[in-house]
Amino acid sequence: MALTLYNTLTRRKEEFAPLDPANVRMYVCGPTVYDFAHIGNARPVIVFDVLYRMLRDRYGAGHVKYARNITDVDDKINAAAKANGEPIAALTARTAAAFHEDVAALGCLPPDVEPRATQHIAPMTRMVEALIASGHAYVAEGHVLFAVPSMPDYGRLSRRDRDELIAGARVEVAPYKRDPADFVLWKPSPPDLPGWDSPWGRGRPGWHLECSAMSEVHLGETFDIHGGGLDLIFPHHENEIAQSVCAHRGKPFVKFWLHNGFVTVNGAKMAKSEGNFVTIRDVLKQAPGEAARLAMLTAHYRDPLDWTAERLTEAKRTLDRFYLALRAVEDVPATGQGAKARGALDDDLNTPLALAALHEDLAALNKAQTRAEKSRLKGALLDSGVLLGILQQEPESWLKGASSDSGAAEIEAQIAARNAARKVRNFAEADRIRNDLALKGILLEDGPGGTTWRRAG
């Protein structure tokens, strides 16, 4: 079955085929490192991680090159560093490290390359020079601006024309712009802010330029997939297209544009001013990263997703059920290549449908009588789990959590005491111990093979 993806460029699902039949190249807009990442930032990272896994599954792990940038030069960074009284380099290093920890906890594979803007200034200035030379950019008052009217196709991705943009403009047009729609490629930097020497004086790049330059360096002038949040369609991706296509003498830039929907929190847009700004770290205090990941995948990536505590706990309980079933077949080897989720994910990453398939396998596994059936269904579940980035932990470690050995020994001692009480039918004492442990979040399970325990969520 072919992989189909919804292409923002054409506004329809298209069959995916890489430009180079054996190798896939994908670029996703990464974080601007000035503050902790929030769950809205987490969505594209998770969504495109699933796509990355699907592509690796289909083309081979060594045949997919995934680039996700880190924006480490930006006005918001400058402002945050000033506000904290922290050197800019310290802020970006600290924030980038936190981002890596956060997304690793969410089960996301690292990209193959993670280019940083500050390490790609030379390719950026080269691109600006090429744009000036070809008449697509001009210098004005120390700025270099992209001349939007020089590109007839401008606005194709976001489906808007120049006149509409000007009519709807909310911002004052800088006086040095030849055309109100023109945007900054390079701007002057005062001595107290990061800057690099350039033919146009000491300055720093405009926001859109880095993605054009870094994708060219790492993926080439034309590549397969470019992803990011819905809000990046305009202006960011529109401007990337303009820069890259014009700098590359009209060569196409990206074949598939993919955009994820927004995350709201309890029905409201997330904003610091609203007081509902939820960072990944906040979420990880409430539930394991895998639960947060699953919660994120319960909606289709293009639809809006409302983040609630219920959604997170439900995801956590769902994983409990899966791991409980997997624990029951721990001694059965996994066989088969029957990831049911694959078919659903092939259809524009339909993760909710994929999860429904997993639930069917789960029910079948719970009912399975023979070892062969169990083995096959366990394999199907784990294979699907690889694609979604879930169910890869040891069931025991998921169910017992990160308890210290001494804590576990203490629980085992309590269990032994309770079983002794049960043996003499002293159920009052047995229940006292059960309740005691329950208060600590420990759930005892009496089974035919003895008593086990897990952490209840």
Q: Nearer Cβ to RNA, position 63 or 100?
A: 100
Site of tokens 């309590």: 414
Q: How far is the CB of 212 from RNA (least distance, A)?
A: 14
423 binds RNA (CB under 7 A): no
176 binds RNA (CB under 7 A): no
Q: Which of 360, 394, 412, 436 binds RNA (CB under 7 A)?
A: 360
Report the site for RNA in 265-284 (rule: CB under 7 A).
269-270
Gap between the Cα atoms of 443 and 452, Å rounded:
8
Site string for RNA, 290-329 (x = CB under 7 A): --------xxx--xxxx---xx--x--xx--x--xx----
- Residue in 413, 411, 416 with CA at minimum distance from that of residue 439: 411
352 binds RNA (CB under 7 A): yes
233 binds RNA (CB under 7 A): yes
Q: Nearer Cβ to RNA, position 18 or 67?
A: 67
11 binds RNA (CB under 7 A): yes
> Using CB under 7 A, which of the segments 37-45, 94-102, 212-220, 282-290 binds RNA?
37-45
Q: Which of 189, 350, 375, 414 binds RNA (CB under 7 A)?
A: 350
Q: How far is the CB of 232 from RNA (least distance, A)?
A: 4
Q: Nearer Cβ to RNA, position 18 or 346?
A: 346
> Using CB under 7 A, which of the segments 161-169, 210-218, 242-250, 409-417 binds RNA?
161-169
Q: How far is the CB of 63 from RNA (least distance, A)?
A: 26
> Using CB under 7 A, which of the segments 131-139, 187-195, 260-268, 403-411 binds RNA?
260-268
230 binds RNA (CB under 7 A): yes
410 binds RNA (CB under 7 A): no
